[in-house]
């Protein structure tokens, strides 16, 4: 692909950047402060972090502000910044059972160990625009804090049981309802897509990493396609958790696990209606899919879990996942990264004078060839007609 170097346009580019900044502030409203973005635009911050593959709420807020709310641009800024950071050490594996849950629901069972916790959700409300939000002030902030404190105090259970629950999939696995998670070789480290390019077929750890930083809308579209009929996925939500997950590292001297902080995260596990049978000696079981993302990102993790289940079954050659675009691992993983996709589409705004000139040359030759062909056909027709019919 040919490009023409643009010369003498540096001043125009600088003025264009200034114009962007002017338009952002031209309305005269008070500039957004970063704590406001972090606290009041939680879902935008969550999306920037998981698609940018960097858990950093204090960096996601300025990225959203700089991108003027463009989620893909904000994720791009975070991912670009991530490449400048040194790798200090790796954290230890952690299970979702260690999550301090603010929300925990199951659509598979009404009664689950520890009970259902609706937590922060609008799933059960009539979604209407709230004009009262236009009149919020500091008093509303104080009132919200008081209401939250009262809710926590009223719903606080016995000491030691607050926020942590057993996993529903563990019970289902004990009862042999679901298949075991596909295991990777014990001697191999999890695949790192930031250091190694994807090759297909890829290990499940690479697939989950790729989907964890994929565009939410792209994952949702493919998952929807499989459940709607372009595939045969019939998922049921086993458990969805949202809360705070501890981050642990090994002490450099003793090797003991040390908790260094926590991250806000969401995880989902689904069971597929289609049975997966790897051996005739084994009873049929439900397949399982897993999704994980930073922040409260429920649509993302559910879509990810559905696709994980479909791709796992497609790899195994079982009934669910033999058809539809969501069953093609290469198609899914290479076309759901919003940053990669937006970069490729947006690059068409750059000068393509050489390639378009070549296309014009091909068009001119095609037109000339067509005109010559029609002229020859006309001559042949004239020669074939009798003289009195000419």
Question: Which of 96-105, 254-263, 377-386 shows the lowest per-residue confidence on average (mean pLDDT)?
Answer: 377-386
**Could you give the percent of the chain with pLDDT greater than 70?**
89
pLDDT value at residue 1: 41
If DSSP states are collapsed to H, E and C, what string results for the chain? CCCCCCCCCHHHHHHHHHHHHHHHHCCCCCCCCHHHHHHHCHHHHHHHHHHHCCCCHHHHHHHHHHCCCCHHHHHHHHHHHHCCCCCCCCCCCCCHHHCEEEEEECCCCCCCCCCCECCCCCCCCCCCCCHHHHHCCHHHHHHHHHHHHHHHHHCCCCCCCCCCCCCHHHHHHHCCCECCCCCCCCCCCCCCCCCCCCCCCCCHHHHHHHHHCCCHHHHHHHHHHHHHCCCCCCEEEEEEEEEEEEEEEECCCCCCEEEEEEEEEEEEEEEEEEEECCCCCCCCEEEEEEEEEECCCHHHHHHHHHHHHHHHHHHHCCCCCCCCHHHCHHHHHHCCCHHHHHHHHHHHHCCCHHHHHHHHHHHHHHHHHHHHHHHHHHHHHHHHCCHHHC
Between 36 and 179, residue with greater pLDDT: 36
pLDDT band at 278 (very low <50, low <70, confident <90, very high): low
Q: Residue 148 pLDDT > 90, yes or no?
A: no
pLDDT value at residue 92: 93
């Amino acid at each position: 692909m040919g490009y023409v170097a643009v010369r003498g346009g540096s001043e125009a580019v600088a003025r264009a950047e200034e114009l962007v900044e002017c338009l952002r502030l031209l309305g005269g409203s008070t500039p957004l402060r970063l704590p406001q973005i972090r606290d009041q635009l939680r879902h935008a911050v969550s999306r920037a972090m998981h698609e940018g593959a960097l858990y950093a709420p204090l960096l996601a807020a300025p990225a959203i502000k700089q991108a003027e709310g463009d989620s893909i641009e904000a994720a791009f800024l975070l991912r670009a910044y991530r490449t400048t950071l040194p790798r200090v050490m790796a954290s230890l594996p952690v299970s979702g059972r260690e999550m301090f849950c603010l929300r925990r629901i199951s659509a598979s069972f009404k009664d689950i160990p520890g009970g259902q916790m609706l937590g922060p959700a609008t799933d059960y409300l009539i979604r209407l625009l709230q004009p009262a939000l236009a009149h919020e002030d500091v008093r509303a902030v104080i009132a919200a804090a008081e209401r939250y404190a009262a809710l926590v105090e009223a719903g606080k259970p016995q000491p030691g049981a607050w926020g942590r629950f057993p996993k529903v999939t563990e019970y289902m696995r004990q009862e042999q309802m679901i298949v075991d998670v596909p295991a990777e070789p014990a001697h191999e480290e999890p695949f790192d897509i930031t250091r190694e390019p994807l090759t297909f077929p890829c290990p499940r750890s690479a697939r989950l990493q790729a989907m964890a930083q994929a565009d939410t809308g792209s994952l949702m579209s493919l998952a929807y396609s499989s459940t709607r009929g372009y595939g045969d996925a019939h998922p049921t939500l086993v458990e969805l958790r949202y809360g705070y997950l501890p981050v642990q590292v090994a002490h450099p001297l003793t090797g003991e696990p040390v908790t260094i902080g926590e991250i806000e995260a969401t995880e989902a596990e689904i069971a597929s209606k289609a049975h997966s049978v790897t051996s005739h000696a084994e009873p049929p079981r439900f397949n399982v899919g897993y999704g994980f993302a930073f922040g409260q990102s429920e649509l993302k993790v559910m879509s990810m879990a559905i696709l994980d289940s479909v791709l796992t079954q497609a790899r195994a050659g079982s009934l669910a996942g033999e058809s539809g675009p969501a069953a093609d691992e290469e198609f899914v993983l290479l076309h759901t990264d919003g940053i990669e996709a937006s970069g490729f589409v947006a690059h068409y705004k750059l000068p393509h004078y050489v390639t378009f000139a070549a296309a014009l040359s091909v068009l001119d030759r095609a037109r000339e060839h067509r005109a010559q062909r029609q002229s020859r056909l006309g001559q042949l027709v004239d020669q074939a007609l009798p003289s009195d019919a000419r």
